[in-house]
Chain A
Amino acid sequence: MKKLKILVVDDHPIYRNGLRDVLIGEKMVRLVEVASDGNEALEQLGLQEFDLLLLDLQMPDLDGVETAKLVVKKFPRVAIIILTSFSIRKQINELLEIGIDGYLLKGADRGEIVEAITSVLKGDRYLTPEVNKIYNDYLNEQSEQALVVMVSNILTKREVEVIKQICIQPNTKAIAQKLFVSQATINNHRYNIFKKLGVKSSIGLVSWAVQKGYYNPNKDNL
């Protein structure tokens, strides 16, 4: 197996030197160099070839996000693992979109760092469990929001009102009286809503409305 050349980029000397000393003792590692910020890292990457970058985010001058962008663009063969104290959901997503390969939190021990390096070099992505959970929850929230936007784009305001009324009481006559329209209009809305949402009955519609937060049986009532 080819031995690795690693560049540790962190503005904190105790951390970067401590990490260097730990990594240099690993069998799979050939060389570990250190840099104190993004600019210094780019300079070193221009001077010699590295396999992996262990990159901090909060640094003076050129921060980790900007450095990652430049490294992905200029040195696409270098793998990047973020090593930071931050776990901001949107930033994790931003970095993964840039193309980083791993994300660890400061506090990760030798064992986890070696595990992350091994995974990344095999071509897998490694996210520490805490970050993995934050990222997955963020993705779920984004897709739920996208669904709400999509649904609110296809339903008219009047149709949303009718959905709520159907959930409260399915009687067409009562809904028509409440919304000051004819029963035929309500039936027409009901037909359009069923068609747009792909539901087949009022029960299906109520279950959809509860699931998507359009109706809360404990709060919305007559």
Chain B
Amino acid sequence: MGLFSGALWWAGNGLIALVMYRGRKAALVGKYPYFYSYVASVAGSQLIQIYLSVGHYDQAFQKLAWWILEFVTAVVGFGVTWEIYRHVLCPFGGVRRMARAVLASLFGAVVGRTAIELAGRKLRDVFPTSIVLEQNLRAVQALLLVAILGLIVHYGLPIGHNLWALLTGYSFYVGANIVSLTVTSRWHRDMWAIWAVLPQIEYCITLIVWCVGMRAYFPNPMPDRALECDYEHVSAQTARAFARLRTHLIHSWRI
């Protein structure tokens, strides 16, 4: 397990360096600044961890530093979600408005649920443990990703190769991270050895997806402006057509 884990660690570092190198070479950093900030923050956290491990700091301090770095990268990770939203929805003003409504309802639901869950608890019990906090942050990110995925699928929004890589890689990473964090938070004492390798594998798979997808600049397909329509008219027509369709469906069986 130690050798495999070490190999994964080195592979991860190599891959992250490759992502950053390709980003600089293909001039992608300026086009996807939030994504590369995230990649840089992950690389920075790796460097700090290396420094701490060779600097003979005590275990408790290293663990604390590790959790802080994990938390910071999880927060910076919201930038990746923002990058995806920004690029996918930029040419579609109407869908952007829809996304805003969906996200507002999602946040409302999350805040409402949290308020109900925390009601009546003592103040010291309100603050979650670092693992639970990271898990919750990842869960919110997963919700945001599912929302954007739903919008892409529903409206058939065209997306370029770069964004596919961002979306697929990050969705996989966040999803897999939530699962491993949930498992770790429940059975951390007995199964830590097995589950310690899993995040590394997830991390490497994500980086491979990013290496392949972000090797060059692939712009997002731009929509045809000539296809713009009077939404009010189209929407009213579709609603009428659906009502007619329902009546047709029911009344055909009455004859």
Q: Do A and B bind each other?
A: no
